[in-house]
Amino acid sequence: MWLYEKKLQYPVRVSKCDPRMAKLLLEQYGGADGELAAALRYLNQRYSIPDKVIGLLTDIGTEEFAHLEMIATMVYKLTKDATIEQIKAAGLSEIYAQHDRALFYTNAGGVPFTAAYIQAKGDPLADLYEDIAAEEKARATYQWLIDLTDDVDLQDSLKFLREREIVHSLRFREAVEIIKADWNTKKVY
């Protein structure tokens, strides 16, 4: 069971209406290394991984949904009152024709989200290394997004999300160590 909390994990401010940036941010909404893919990847892997790391996957997967809500908030604020002219200038006409200002799970190039983004091999090491790679790829995406805007308020929220990828990656590395350890020798971390 999940509980929704009526607040963002971290404040999201944007300093101007900028639908073009909203389109780029969709990479982290419905992209291969985005927050939706991350949440679904970790929560799905829980069912076939040793019990010692299920708690970690559950919590990081849950935090990813909080990040998804932050990205949605950015897109919402950047497009909410954009004029048709601004939407056209931002290259969002094709999206507008189908969705108006509704959010839609695509990447920045407009490719719809697919379950094929979510890896699950059933081998704990293969899955955890997949997770580490996913976190590093998301960190890189946040870097490129920070490069693409000079809105310092937006950069601030993106820097927070980038740092979270680094912490998650470390926790998954620790999970690898836990998996590697010979539990029969009762090594205590």
Partner 1 sequence: MNDQERTWIPYIGPYDPCPPIRVKTYVVPPNQYIVFQPLDLPQFSLQEALRYGTLWPALFSPYESKNLRRGGRTL
Partner 2 sequence: MSEANTKPIDAQYYKLLEELQMVDFGLLELSLYLNTHPNDMKAIQQLNQWSEQRHKIAQQYELDYGPLLQFGHSYSKFPWQWIESPWPWQV
Give the annotated binding-site residues. 35, 59, 64, 67, 135, 168
Tell me which stretch binds partner 1 (CB under 8 A): 45-53, 103-111, 114-122, 170-178: 170-178
What 8-state DSSP symbol labels residue 113? P
Q: Pull the structure tokens for residue 84.
A: 């048709």
The rounded distance, in Å, linking the Cα atoms of 22 and 108 is 9
What 8-state DSSP symbol labels residue 100? T
Q: Pull the structure tokens for residue 175.
A: 């999970």
Place of tokens 């048709």: 84
Q: Could you say which of 13, 84, 170, 183 contacts partner 1 (CB under 8 A)?
A: 170
Q: Could you say which of 16, 80, 88, 99 contacts partner 1 (CB under 8 A)?
A: 16
Q: Please tell me whether residue 3 binds partner 2 under the rule CB under 8 A.
A: yes
Which of 170, 159, 162, 160 lies closest to 131, judged by CA?
170
Tell me which stretch binds partner 1 (CB under 8 A): 15-23, 30-38, 93-101, 122-130: 15-23
Q: Which residues bind partner 1 (CB under 8 A)?
A: 10, 15-16, 18, 20-21, 24, 139, 142-143, 146-151, 155, 159-164, 166-167, 169-170, 173-174, 177, 189
